[in-house]
Amino acid sequence: MGYTYVMKNRVKKNTTTQEIEEFIEKIRSEYVLLHKRYEELFWIVYMGNQKFSKKKYDAQKKKEDFQNNEKYLTKINEYLSMCAQEKQKKSLHIWKNFFELYHTPKDMVSVKDAATNLESKMQKKTATRKEGYIDPYSHKFIASSYIAMRTIISTHEDEKVRKACFLATEQLAETNLDDYVAYVKTLNQYARGLGFEDFYAFKLMQEEGMTKKELFAVFDPIYEKTKFAFKDMRILEKKMLGVRSPWNMSYMMSGNFIKEEDQYFPFDEALTRWGQSFQRMGVDYKEGTMQLDLLDRKRKYANGFCHWPTIVHYKEDKIIPGHANFTCNVVYGQVGSASNGYHTLFHEGGHAAHYLNTVQKETCLNSEYPPASTAWAETQSMFFDSVYSTFEWKQSYAKNKKGEVYSLELFERKLKKLSIRKPLGLSSILMISNFERDIYECKNLTKEKVKKIARYNFKKFTDMSEDSLWLLNVPHIYSWSSACSYHGYGLADLAQTQWRAYFKKKYGYIVDNPKVGKEMTKVWALGAKYSFKEFVKMATGTHLSPHAWIKENTKSVQKIIQEARALVKSREVFHEAKKKRAHIDRPINLNAKILMVNGEEKITDNSNSFEKMADDYAKWLNKQ
C-alpha cells in the first residue's frame, strides 16, 4: 500500500511539470489561432466585403471568451502554487496578468453591461440624429453630416457659411448629454469596484502603467511652457481680424501649401522612396509577409491602420514570422492625397516593423492588444512619419517629375506662415485629457457641470474668442475602449521626439542611418514585455519627460532656418560621400514578402524584386 502511494506521488510530480508545459503551449497557440481567425475576417470586412460581418462577430466573440476564460485563470493560479520551475513560473505570471487584464469580476458584470447599453444607446442617437445647418442666405436647412460640416469650417471661403456650420455643431454637442452623465457614473462605479479612484485612473494604469499624477506631471509643463503662443495669436489678431474665432482659426491659419507641395510627392514613386528610406535606416521585416491596400474604394473603411493576422510565434523552438496588413485611402490623382499615402507607408510601415520584430515566447506579448501599450505602439509609427515630415528627409527624397528637390525656399516660406501655432501642437490632446480627468473626478456630475467643464477646458487650451462645447463632439469620450485614452497620442509624441533627440545627439543624423533601425530592433524584440515608461527609459536612456518636445516645438524660426541651411550644406557633402558608398544604392530588400492588393484583386508582389513590384504598381496606378 505504502509503496503504491509513493509511486503515485512521484508520477504526479513529473506529470505536473509536463502538464504545465502542455497547458502553456496550449494557451500560446490557442491565442495565435483565435487572433488569426478574427483578424483575417476583420481585414476582409474593413476592406469592404460586408458579407463576412456575422462571421467576424462570431470570431471576435470566441476571442473574447478565451480572454475572459475564468477556468484558465483558476488553472494558472493552481499551477503557480505547485510549480517549481522558474521558467514556467515566469510564463505563468505573464498569462496570469493577461487573463486578469480581460477579466470582469462577477459582481461587476451587470455594471459593465449597463455601460455597454448606454454606449449603444448613445451610438444609435448619434447615428440617427438630424445633421445639417441653416444656410445663412436662403435660411433653409441644408442636410450635412458632422464630418462634412467640420470640413466646411476649415475650408469654405465664406465666413457666414463657416459660422453657420459651427453653430450647428454646437447644437450636436448636446445630443447625448443626459446619457453621458449616467455613463460617466457607471464607468466610475466599475473602476471603484476594482479598487481604483475613478475610471481615468483605472484606464491609465491598465493601458500605460501610469498614475494620473505621473501623467499630468509630464503634461502640465507643456501647457505652461507653450501658452506664450496664445499671446502671439492675440497680437496677430490685430492684423488678421477674427482669426481667434472657432469658425475662422483653421481656415485662416492653414496657408495654402497643399497644391504647391503635391508635385514633390508623386504617388507612383512612393513605394520606392519608402523601401529605400526604411532599408537605409536599417529596418528589417524578419521574413514577415505584408499585404498593402492603399487606394480608396467605395465601402472600404475610411481610415488608415495596420494589423497582424499572424502574430510571431514558435513551432518547436523554430520562429514563425508574422503577417501584417496595412491600408490607407489614397485617391490617385487628387491633389494632396498622395501625401496621405506617403504618411501611411511611413506610419503604418513603422507599426508593421514593430510587431514583425517581436520574438517573445508568450504570444500575448507579440500582438498589438493589451498588455501592449498604445502609446508605445504609436511611438514607433510616429517616429517614422515624423522622419518623413522633416526637411532632412524631404531634402533627400522629395523630388518632382523634373527631378527638382523640395526647396529650402518653400520650406522657409511655409515655416514662417505656420510656425506661430507650432508650440500649440499638443493642445487638443492636452485639452481632451484634462477635460476627461476633470469629468471623472467631478462629484455629483450633472449636465450643467459637464457643459461648464467642457467650456472651461476649451477656453484654457485654445484661447479662442468664443465659448464652445467642441469637446462633447469628440467621439472617443463615448466608448469604453477609447474613453480616457487620448493621452496615448500625446505620450507617443513626447516619446518619439525624445527618441529622435537621442539619436540626433548620438549619431548626428537619422535619415539613411542604419544604426537607428538596429537600435530600434532591439527594443521591438521585447514585444509588450515592459510598460510604456520602462520602454522609453530603455530606448532613450532617460526617463520620459516633456523637455525634448518643448525644446523642439518652441524653437525660434531663425534657429530652424539656420539648422535647415546647415543641413543643406552637410547634405551636399554627404551626397558626394554617398556616391562612393555602394551599400546605400544596393537593390531594395526589406526582408519581407510584400503583396500589393486592391480589395480582393492582387496587383503585384516582390517575388522578382522590390523594384519590379514598385514598377508594376506604378503602371497599374497610371491605368486607374
User: Which residues lie near Zn ion (CB under 5 A)?
Assistant: 381
Nearer to Zn ion, 246 or 350 (CB): 350
227 φ/ψ angles, rounded to the nearest 5 degrees? -70, -10
Query: Nearest approach, Cβ of 346 to Zn ion (angstroms)?
Result: 11
SS3 assignment for 48-108: CCHHHHHHHHHHHHHHHHHHCCHHHHHHHHHHHHHCCCHHHHHHHHHHHHHHHHHCCCHHH
- Label the pairing between strands 141-143 and 132-134: antiparallel
* Best CA proximity match to 215, nearest among 480, 543, 435, 491: 491
Distance CA 431, CA 424 (A): 11
Q: Which three cell numbers stand for residue 565?
A: 541651411
φ and ψ at residue 548, rounded to 5 degrees: -60, -40
Least distance CB 533 / Zn ion (angstroms): 19
| Cα angle 47-50-52, degrees, rounded to a multiple of 5 | 100
Nearer CB in complex with Zn ion: 326/435 = 326
Nearest-angstrom CA–CA distance, 29 and 21 = 12
Least spacing, CB of residue 221 vs Zn ion, in Å: 25
Instruction: Name the residue nearer to Zn ion (CB basis): 279 or 381.
Output: 381
Half-sphere exposure of 235 (CA within 13 A, CB side): 7
Between 56 and 307, name the residue whose CB sits nearer to Zn ion: 307
Cell, residue 351? 507599426
User: Which residue lies nearer to Zn ion by CB, 329 or 381?
Assistant: 381
| Cβ at position 347, least distance to Zn ion in Å | 6
**Smaller CB separation from Zn ion, 358 or 381:** 381
Q: How far is the CB of 379 from Zn ion (least distance, A)?
A: 10
Contact 367, 308 (CB under 8 A): yes
User: In angstroms, what is the minimal distance from the CB of 200 to Zn ion?
Assistant: 22
Q: Which residues pair with 288 in a beta bridge?
A: 592
Closest approach of Zn ion to the CB of residue 275, in Å: 20
Give the nearest distance from C-beta 378 to Zn ion in angstroms: 5
Find the shortest distance in angstroms from Cβ 382 to Zn ion. 7
Sheet holding 592-598, edge to edge: 305-310, 323-330, 288-295, 592-598, 601-605
CB 105 within 8 A of CB 193: yes
What does the DSSP assignment read for 215-240? HHHHHHHHHHHHTHHHHHHHHHHHHS
> In this structure, what C-alpha cell is assigned to residue 53?
460581418
Strand partners, 405: 399
Tell me how far apart the alpha carbons of residues 544 and 532 are, in angstroms, rounded to a whole number. 9
| Of 498 and 606, CB closest to Zn ion | 498
How do strand 305-310 and strand 132-134 relate by DSSP bridges? unpaired
Sequence length of the chain is: 624
Residue 181's CB is within 10 A of a number of other CB atoms, namely 18
Task: Give the residue with the Cβ less far from Zn ion, 306 or 588.
Answer: 306
Least Cβ distance, residue 485 to Zn ion (angstroms): 13
Q: Which is nearer to Zn ion, 205 or 377 (CB)?
A: 377
- Cβ proximity to Zn ion: between 355 and 435 the closer is 355
Residue 267 CB neighbour total at 10 angstroms: 24
Question: Is the CB of 132 or the CB of 349 nearer to Zn ion?
Answer: 349
Task: Work out how close the CB of 351 gets to Zn ion at its nearest, in angstroms, rounded to a whole number.
Answer: 6
The answer to whether 365 and 528 are in contact (CB under 8 A) is yes
If you ran DSSP here, which 8-state letter would residue 546 be given? S
Provide the minimum distance between the beta carbon of 374 and Zn ion in the complex, in angstroms, as a whole number: 9
Say if residues 311 and 239 touch (Cβ distance below 8 Å): no
Q: Closer to Zn ion by CB, 307 or 313: give it.
A: 307
Q: Closer to Zn ion at the Cβ: 257 or 301?
A: 301
Identity at 255, one-letter amino acid code: G
Helices 374-389 and 199-208 cross at an angle (nearest 10°) of: 70
Residue nearest Zn ion, Cβ-based = 381
Q: Which helix (H) or strand (E) holds 261?
A: helix 258-262
Report, in Å, the least distance between residue 376 CB and Zn ion: 11
